[in-house]
Amino acid sequence: MKNNCPTHFSHTRPYKPLAHDLKSSNQSKLQLTLINKDIFNYISQNCFTVIKLECYQYEGTVEKHGNNAYCVALKHFTTITSDCSHDNDIPKSLHKIDKDKLEQITKVVFYNGDCLQDLIKLLPNLTCIDFSKKEMGGFRELSLENLSKLKSLTKLDLSGVSLQRDGSKHLAEIKNLPLKKLCLPSWDPSLYNGLPAKLKRSITKITADPYMDLSVFPNVNHILITERDTSRWRLPQTVTKVSSKYLEIGFLPHNRQVTKFKTYYMFTNQQKVHTFLKTLSDQCHHVKTVIRYGNCPLNIPNDLFDSFNYRIDYSWSSMEGNSHHYASSQYLRLERINYQPIIIDSHIDIEHHDNDIEYRDNEQQQPDH
């Protein structure tokens, strides 16, 4: 086989392959080199696009990977994340990154928004700002000053921070942005009322509670709920995806247009996992996709396929930290087996029944998000 290979026939002493001449061999070698180069470029440009900002605090990290022509890491990253609860060191870390790489960054996911002004100055091409990791408000009230300078911003998630009380200033900063997803702090949703009608029509994701009038957002298809008691909530027919920081799914049985449910809940024991999956399996046939993302990996029941009518479609987990502390996270996506779409007539109002299934977890302990 080696003697017939136009690429690998070369040896310590030259000899001609059985079916190819030297010219064909050289052409094949060149093609293989170019293919390898394309593969390297693709991996370095697309497969290592997320970097944890804490990595830049270690001396030599950039030199070891970024300046190494034969390493695929730190060549082209578009997303930076940080789990640091105090963001004082974030600007210092950002200044260690070359300016051309800063211009490539389009997404930030941070623990709180204390460094927002630095992000606005250093990262002019941001399209996504996510300050949702913290369960409660930030360490200080956040100002949205200068946010309007980010002309490409389409996603703004402030569900984990507290805003300053001057709503008019916040509106002035965001009203002309091309936002598609806007998640405001759940304890102050009144800012939605002042949004321009044009922006309300363009938004597809918001933070919502049972007392909001969602009809003013005609194109919303994804809501983030932070309330515990939503069992009697009737959602618009446009809403097909729901994310929740809790384990409240009592609203799902009578909102059959919802096909995707995502939770950030940290399951404390295996019985909660079984109850959660059993309720979805038996009473929520319309829910095709279930996603769980958060700390402490979820233990999958052995009978997931047989007893709960779900299968694992995609999963990843990671463990990060140092010798003293490790933090693990998991993304798990389950797909319903033999899923059959439910056709819903939007003109028919589903009657409310007192025996609607309500499943809530009453524990106060919640995960860091």
Q: Report pLDDT for 236.
A: 94
Residue 292 has pLDDT above 80, yes or no: yes
Rg, the chain, Cα only: 25
The overall average pLDDT reported for the chain is: 79
CB within 8 A of 343, min separation 6: which ones?
A: none
Of the two residues 7 and 293, the one the predictor is more confident about is 293
Q: What's the CA gap between 2 and 170, in Å, rounded? A: 69
Q: Report pLDDT for 12.
A: 52
The tens digit of pLDDT for each residue in 344-365 reads 655 444 444 443 434 444 444 4
Domain residue limits, the chain:
1-47, 49-209, 221-369
pLDDT average, residue stretch 70-88: 77
The tens digit of pLDDT for each residue in 117-134 reads 999 999 999 999 999 876
Q: How confident is the model at residue 256 (pLDDT cuts 50, 70, 90)?
A: very high
Residue 146 has pLDDT above 90, yes or no: yes
Q: How confident is the model at residue 13 (pLDDT cuts 50, 70, 90)?
A: low
Asked whether the CA dihedral 153, 158, 161, 167 is positive or negative, the reply is: positive
Q: How many CB atoms lie within 10 A of CB 190?
A: 9
The tens digit of pLDDT for each residue in 306-356 reads 788 899 998 887 655 443 444 567 889 999 988 877 766 554 444 444 434
Number of Cα atoms under 13 Å in the Cβ half of residue 96: 18
Residue 267 has pLDDT above 50, yes or no: yes
Residue 208 has pLDDT above 80, yes or no: yes
Q: How confident is the model at residue 20 (pLDDT cuts 50, 70, 90)?
A: low
The tens digit of pLDDT for each residue in 153-200 reads 999 999 888 888 777 888 899 999 999 999 988 766 678 988 999 999
In this structure, the chain runs to a length of 369
**Would you give the DSSP letter of residue 163?**
B
Right CATH for 49-209 from 2.40.50, 3.30.200, 2.40.128, 3.80.10: 3.80.10
Q: What's the CA gap between 315 and 277, in Å, rounded? A: 17
Bridge partner residues of 52 (DSSP) = 81
Residue 297 has pLDDT above 70, yes or no: yes
Contact 46, 79 (CB under 8 A): no
Number of Cα atoms under 13 Å in the Cβ half of residue 276: 26
pLDDT average, residue stretch 298-308: 78
